[in-house]
Chain A
């Protein structure tokens, strides 16, 4: 990689990179108008940049895949001579440790910090410190409260909840007994998705919520929770599951108990999509695309290059239904068995999202 850094002309041969370099050149020219600079950017940092990736927890498969898209993006940007180094930290689920890591990144004077927050509030102060130092801070997936960041990138969790509830309600004709399966309690994402579903549930009083569960976003604990619920409830008409591999756990619980499958919502977990096809489920799924990570690095570098990027980049939720599931399953082999089959992405998509 070092050779690429010092020899940008060689890297220009690659088609993709040529595009990036042209974009970069254009950016250098457009940077003349100082008012266009993005939040936090002071214009005193020059390429190639050092990027810090402050992860909250690297062990879940979703995180590993996301890190994969970040690393791939950094490789592209390295070839274009825009990035020289990627520093990765893993706070092991501890928001306090994440604060310490971001502080260390500030101390090490990185140029950009890409972060998934371990707590929506806890990082506010350290992140605004980074912003004050002219570091491009791009926050995605799990967002912080403070607006002192270069950009926040996410899908809309309320829309997720509403979309899932809407589909389930339509499936059941607006009435029936349902179980709501949430992610962990006290986590903003799980709370926001649930809140987003509420207006739809209120509008359909025929839907009766038997009970709700809070589990990790994994299949095993969800299967366990659903198994005990199946014993207690002879009549269940639908499952409103709000993310992760929870739906796969639910479907397996129904299967193991010999119960007839019911309409179920979910996320793009490969396990769930395969069960959907195999059992001929009535299903609906959306996703938190893993490439939000790649988009975040791209955005940070664009901002450092002087481009004005939106303070909030809302990524539309890709929806998987019976008409699109085959296109996802066709690519299943490229993803880990317990991973997430995310939608395709490329530079053109990123530029379109940044131009919002």
Chain B
């Protein structure tokens, strides 16, 4: 209370410390982006930028969904199936009487509800998130396959063209989601999610309702994941009951690349977003470099290990100095 500027100063110092570990990742991502622009200058056009960000957008969303839980000390293996279910619900409801608004509400509600139920089971029955979400992933996959046994369904063209046409709407949506996340972090609930992940007992003693924070984290994560599914449906113009499967591992990889720890409380959303951007831009850069598929597998692994190892090496180098 002695100084008005103290909170600002403290905030700045904390942010600097949180960013420090990410310096290496930022460098790697920047290098890849520059390389991409050199290889394909068309990325700087509105159309090129739009298409690239559209392919990145769903991964960015599910990475946020995963990071949100990992920051809270959890994890989810149900990302992929929930993306599929979101896509399937979008593609099956939008042609019904409920129309596009009804479809969006249905997808959002499903994501929130499934997330909340998983969260409640994890929080109140004290079961490990990894087991509950693994079981959940089977159930969700089954439901998606029952709703739509094979790829199909329908998304209105105008919706596809709005979200995934030749305009950077997807990128703008991502910016909006990130701003909302920033605003959410300023609320007690938002801070509580972080605090409960970092030190559950301490958070509880400081008045954070740890269980509620956990359920909220799962519900929000489910919402983001299902909306990623909605976007995938719009991008592809249809639903596919198994299209989301690879997102589960990719979301974990992106979050870990971005410096989010498995033990909770450690890491930042911006790091996770950068991790997902690296995973996405890497694919395009390797294509333009003309890597054969076998080399792509290798390079992908090396880049991921490198991006995780470089910051650690920098840290130990700094510590020795």
Contacts and interface: CB of A to CB of B under 8 A. Distances in A.
Interface of A: 55, 58, 87-90, 92-97, 99-101, 103-105, 107-108, 119-125, 145, 185-188, 191
Interface of B: 40, 42-43, 48, 51-52, 55, 58-59, 145, 149-153, 160, 164, 232, 235-243, 245-247, 250, 280, 283-284, 287-288, 290, 292-294, 296-297
A100 B239 CA distance: 18
A56 to B, nearest CB: 11
B280 A121 contact: no
27 contacts: A58-B293, A89-B287, A89-B293, A90-B296, A90-B297, A96-B55, A96-B58, A96-B59, A96-B232, A96-B243, A96-B246, A96-B247, A99-B235, A99-B236, A100-B55, A100-B283, A121-B239, A122-B151, A122-B240, A124-B236, A124-B238, A145-B151, A145-B238, A186-B149, A186-B151, A186-B240, A187-B150
**Which DSSP category, helix, strand, loop or mixed, fits chain A's interface?**
mixed
Contacts of A90: 293, 296-297
B293 A107 contact: no
B237 A125 contact: yes
A92 B246 contact: yes
B145 A119 contact: no
Contacts of B288: 104, 108
A96 B159 CA distance: 18
A32 to B, nearest CB: 34
B152 A121 contact: yes
Nearest to A85: B290
Contacts of A95: 236, 240, 243
Max chain A C-beta neighbours (<10 A), residue from B58, B237, B280: B237
B151 A99 contact: no
A169 to B, nearest CB: 25
Given A96-B246, A107-B48, A119 B287 contact: no
B296 A186 contact: no
Contacts of B237: 121, 124-125
A119 B246 contact: no
B59 to A, nearest CB: 8
A192 to B, nearest CB: 9
